[in-house]
Amino acid sequence: MDMIKPPAEMLFEAELRALREEDTGKRPPEWLLSPAYVRDFIIGRDQPAILDGKEVVITRKFYGNDVLIERAVVTLAGNRGLMLVGDPGTAKTMLSELLSAAISGTSLNTIQGTAGTTEDMIKYSWNYAMLLDKGPSEAALVPAPLYNGMKQGIMTRFEEITRCPAEAQDSLISILSDKVMNIPELDGGVLFAKPGFNVIATANIRDKGVNEMSGALKRRFNFETIKPVSSMKMEAKIIENGARSLLMHSGVDAEIDLFVVELLATTFMELRSGITREGYKIDIPAASMSTAEAVSVYVQSAMTSYYYENKSISLDRLVQNMLGTIAKENEKDLSILKTYFSKVVKERSKEDVIWKDYYEERKWIG
């Protein structure tokens, strides 16, 4: 594909087509897949689907609470807005993209929330040349994602909703309640949402620069909290799959080193949770030690080794790229990483060769 990051509906086109052909289950109006098949698309299944006479493996794309996925799908089937909340890097955006792709066939109808997001960026604006020439008309109206979602009967994704000012957030209240958008500039200007329309919003719960949602808006959503991965094995699998995909799309032909993946997964999980696998308590850095950050560290390290040293990945590059993540919020947090190496990594280096090599790269921490 001639693009850096294909949307989910393109990346998993074969899986979606195969599931649609096979799916005979009950589905909400205008949904492309039944709720059971939406779930299968996201969490994967053992049995392959058949497309054009060939088997298509239905892969797991979201690693976490499978029951949460079922609840999220049922929420959308019940025409209630879905709010995905959690720490940064817990795959909220990816989940909203997968849900939209499976249900509506597109994940591109998206509002990206920022401090500068205004109501017209969410609902609609005007072509002012046409407005001045002929006055308010449907031809002069410039639709925004919420308008498109209601008009076409598709999912509207609202990323980082709590970064928007309160007045922009609250423009959703009446639409989520009544599924109607008033357009007072037009005579009889009322847009009724077609079946299939709904809103999937995401919000970080510990990020800086967020605005509290009003109680009225919160009541229009069902909230699902996506928690960080709690299994080291699962964390390693996510890092492996994420790194492989990103390196492939970057044109980097490098094998994934599973020993380094396990090392990275262990480090990030222990620094995130504040407890080692031996049961010792350690300090937690202010930075987000998310699985997404771990994937980024691996990819950056692998690309550095690939371009400068013509090899897959090296531990010195891993430690070097880890420093930027740890010091992202507070440079003093480097002392936490230094302590982690001087105590935890040092102890393990006595019995494990890769931890010994890892410990030798502590010189980069300073």
Candidates 111, 94, 72; CA nearest to 11 is 94
CA dihedral 211, 216, 219, 223 (to 10 degrees): -10
> In the numeric block, which tokens belong to residue 299?
């990819």
Q: Which pTM does this prediction carry?
A: 0.91
Is the model's pLDDT at 207 over the cut of 80?
A: no
pLDDT, mean of residues 235-239: 95
Highest mean pLDDT among 128-142, 296-310, 321-335: 296-310
Domain 65-225 has CATH 1.10.4000.10: no
Q: Which of 127-131, 133-137, 329-333 shows the lowest per-residue confidence on average (mean pLDDT)?
A: 329-333
- Average predicted confidence (pLDDT) for the chain: 94
Q: Which residues pair with 126 in a beta bridge?
A: 141
Is the model's pLDDT at 1 over the cut of 60?
A: no
Is the model's pLDDT at 2 over the cut of 80?
A: no
Identify which has the larger pLDDT, 364 or 330. Answer: 364
Looking at the chain, the whole-number percentage of residues with pLDDT higher than 90 is 84
Residue 297 exposed, middle or buried by CB count within 10 Å (0-12, 13-18, 19+): buried
In this prediction, residue 209 carries a pLDDT of: 67
Tens-place pLDDT, residues 250-264: 889 999 999 999 999
- Residue spans per domain, the chain: 65-225, 232-364
pLDDT-derived band at 287, boundaries 50, 70, 90: confident
Is the model's pLDDT at 113 over the cut of 80?
A: yes
pLDDT-derived band at 5, boundaries 50, 70, 90: confident
Query: How far is Cα 63 from Cα 98, in angstroms, rounded to an integer?
Result: 13
Tens-place pLDDT, residues 68-92: 999 999 999 999 999 999 988 889 9
* 164 touches 117 (CB < 8 A): yes
Query: How far is Cα 366 from Cα 80, in angstroms, rounded to an integer?
Result: 52
- The CA–CA distances, whole Å, from 132 to 128, 136, 137, 140, 185 equal 6, 8, 11, 10, 13
Tens-place pLDDT, residues 176-202: 999 999 999 998 889 999 999 999 999
DSSP states of 290-309 as a string?
A: -HHHHHHHHHHHHHHHHHHH
pLDDT, mean of residues 283-312: 93
Candidates 226, 210, 221; CA nearest to 86 is 226
